[in-house]
Structure 1
């Protein structure tokens, strides 16, 4: 686990470089990499010496990289988050600290001057364990916050138990790391959970767009449909590479309407079926809203006639009575179009995950042979 004391040292302003962890007396680089990844080398050079944190990307969309973040970017992200949510508060850590989402819970705690609660994840995420960890946090004064991935939120709202009772008490529950099905958001909000959807990545010090609106000082633009981000939360660059410029070009497609961002999905995930571009995210949104669908992932698989065929991996609400394939295809056909209707459907007990709760699309594709 990333050390809270090391983070405090790394985030402390250094002589001659206020707000950054640089200079000859720079504290040791804090390394936060996913389990199984080798530690990042400590011999930083040139622009890399301004880094306070080395954090790994999940590798869910390509080769994993090591992102170098300055203390200034990390602090800016935490302060802007608190400003958006309603002020500094006490955080519950319910995510692993080998990824930026978990590290940022600790960073926000350091910036707020509060001691975070920590959930024991050694045996996985369980609603009962969340409720136990939440009790210690909710007794403290001031606002209470936590950050989760959609799979965790789904488990908490699945039943009217102690986990749901606990999460209702938080002033804000940040949800990120993967696309959140609108049906899940609707269920959570109807149950009284104060959900805030987030969009961001390691390269932006975590979430920088909340409920579609960028944090103060964060700028968005679209370039050939790709989302590009600038602002004080931007990372220095990738270790061993060149420093980032003013703008970071993501691999995500989006729409901007009156300054509000809608993420359509990964550019690399677009399915070309019969010459038509199909967005897996749009198909997933339709399928997730159908009766009997608990979770879903849509991928493209090779097809001799169509080039790629749309395939859907579905986790049924009730494994004994899964939704009919014809009904699922008909719903997509009506909402998105004929080419987007899944030609293959596989029913799974759960979706394979990679990184901080992201669906492993490559593993899903392999289920279709």
Structure 2
């Protein structure tokens, strides 16, 4: 039987770029340069090809390919120990059989409500072997929000850390990630645990080609029930190649994923790590000391994080990893990266920082590398290979350099809509709108002003809080800030600022903030309300919880 184009690409032939279907030689070169595409012996090639035929370009396939290609390499290191690729493959085969026996599978989704550890990885892999859709649940949801998720997604099973058991609604089958201390909680729910399921799951036959499952990522809305964004598995390696064209990962190098695995960015890091045959290093909870220590101890060359984690590291007195154990890549996404924070981090830890701008719906839009972050602080970067980035003006025409408009993007990872049937994103000529406003400079670098729906009209003037927030955040003595519009009886709307000062700083006052904004921007951009807080309320990915800001009413 002739080898498929995808299998032939794994042998490192010169046809890589064509067979990946990315339409760009640059993307093919990225895969070869990173070591994803390289010569493989015929014995292992057969196992790799079999995994791809069975599971497509999914997280399940990535780890199955790893088990065939490098079975004895460490796949996951967490606080419970280490697991090789071969061990992970065997455990997830048994877990998949147990899931099927319990009724999970096509049409019976599996939810994952876990902190970063091997359990959510095993669940994602095993669910893919059954054909069940996976719903990645934010660990910061309330019980009410989770009930809304259950009603919309119709979860058959929820795999959950015991810490979150009390918020899981009645209905789905509950599987704990570990054996609980003491007796299992009583009630009408069928409690199980992953270890018991693995022990009893097998021997048996799994479907050779299960129904293609979808990964459903919940949008990071800060109020109400989060929407479920359906993400089909890609049909080629082009999406990975696009990211690799701007972020130079290398095969077999350990990767620390600090970003939550339930978030698009943490999940993307997991897929890229598996694709590269990396050892994935995880910690359940983020602390600056643990973050730095994990990188140094396991000699991680790549880190996936969210910007607020970098801020916490900068603020801490924790010792750095030192030049001997410094990673080549610290890649962040999930919330805004202030220009000043990027420079301060690289001043301390070296020019290793990469910032990806995107969203749950559109995936990636642009990537800023260290050079861009140095030369143009505050930039969101450039469109990577295979990505179209356009700024449209109010007439839906492409805007010129430095002209502000709405951000639209097209890439190789399609959005399959929301599970609840909500209205799709704004679309123009096959490109999806991000909902953000920004401009491109003459070098093609993107600069974001902020969300289009954050624009307010105050006394007849259009005002966007983004530039005000950036200005206030960069003031000496200010640790972080948030600026938003609030209702105003006289002017319709006005800006308000919530500010966290550096510890012990008393020089920053409401008047100094207003004076700075009036001097650098405009009178109508001055925030009339200034609230000083000990910290901004944030979710797990660093986004500010606006509903929890005092005085927002």
Query: Is the TM-score greater than 0.5?
Result: yes
Unpaired runs of at least 5, structure 1:
1-8, 44-48
1:128 maps onto 2:289 in alignment: yes
Q: Please list, as runs of the form range in 1=range in 2, the aligned pairs for 1:272-291 lying within 5 A after superposition.
A: 272-291=457-476
Query: SS of the counterpart of 1:185?
Result: helix
CA distance in structure 2 between the partners assigned to 1:126 and 1:345 by the alignment: 30
Structure 1 residues 214, 237: closer, same or farther in 2, change over 3 A? same
Please point out which of 254, 269, 283 is paired with 1:119: 283
Maintained 8 Å contact 1:156/1:164: no
Please point out which of 411, 429, 439 is paired with 1:255: 439
Instruction: Give the corresponding residue for 1:170.
Output: 327
Instruction: Give the corresponding residue for 1:202.
Output: 360
Query: SS of the counterpart of 1:352?
Result: coil
Instruction: Give the corresponding residue for 1:85.
Output: 247
**Superposed CA offset, 1:17-61 (max 9, x none):** 954799x98733232121343353479xxxxx7553111111138
Q: TM-score, normalised by structure 1?
A: 0.83
CA distance in structure 2 between the partners assigned to 1:74 and 1:42 by the alignment: 29
Please point out which of 239, 258, 261 is paired with 1:97: 261
Instruction: Give the corresponding residue for 1:221.
Output: 390
1:13 maps onto 2:170 in alignment: no
Q: Please list, as runs of the form range in 1=range in 2, the aligned pairs for 1:1-369 lying within 5 A after superposition.
A: 13-14=52-53, 19=57, 27-35=131-139, 36=141, 37=146, 38=149, 40-41=153-154, 51-60=213-222, 64-72=226-234, 75-88=237-250, 89-121=253-285, 125-138=286-299, 144-159=301-316, 161-163=318-320, 165=322, 169-193=326-350, 194-205=352-363, 207-211=364-368, 212-223=381-392, 224=394, 225-241=405-421, 246-258=430-442, 259-319=444-504, 321=506, 323-364=508-549, 366-369=550-553
Maintained 8 Å contact 1:73/1:235: no
CA distance in structure 2 between the partners assigned to 1:50 and 1:290 by the alignment: 51
Bigger shift: 192-201 or 235-244?
A: 235-244
Maintained 8 Å contact 1:117/1:136: no
Bigger shift: 237-246 or 217-226?
A: 237-246
CA distance in structure 2 between the partners assigned to 1:337 and 1:165 by the alignment: 44
Shift of 1:94: 0.8
Shift of 1:247: 2.1
Structure 1 residues 240, 334: closer, same or farther in 2, change over 3 A? same
Q: Which has the higher strand share?
A: 1
CA distance in structure 1 between the partners assigned to 2:281 and 2:406 by the alignment: 37
Query: SS of the counterpart of 2:246?
Result: helix
CA distance in structure 2 between the partners assigned to 1:219 and 1:263 by the alignment: 16
Bigger shift: 242-251 or 305-314?
A: 242-251
Query: SS of the counterpart of 2:303?
Result: strand
Q: TM-score, normalised by structure 2?
A: 0.57
Query: SS of the counterpart of 2:385?
Result: coil
Structure 1 residues 135, 168: closer, same or farther in 2, change over 3 A? closer
Q: How many pairs are equivalent?
A: 344
Shift of 1:79: 3.2
Maintained 8 Å contact 1:329/1:341: yes
Unpaired runs of at least 5, structure 2:
1-47, 62-105, 107-128, 157-210, 369-380, 395-404
Query: SS of the counterpart of 2:389?
Result: strand
Instruction: Give the corresponding residue for 1:4.
Output: none
Maintained 8 Å contact 1:94/1:146: yes
Shift of 1:166: 8.3
Query: SS of the counterpart of 1:332?
Result: helix
Shift of 1:195: 1.5
Deviating above 6 A after TM superposition, structure 1's stretches of 4 or more consecutive aligned residues are 242-245
Query: SS of the counterpart of 1:96?
Result: coil
Shift of 1:262: 1.2
Maintained 8 Å contact 1:264/1:279: yes
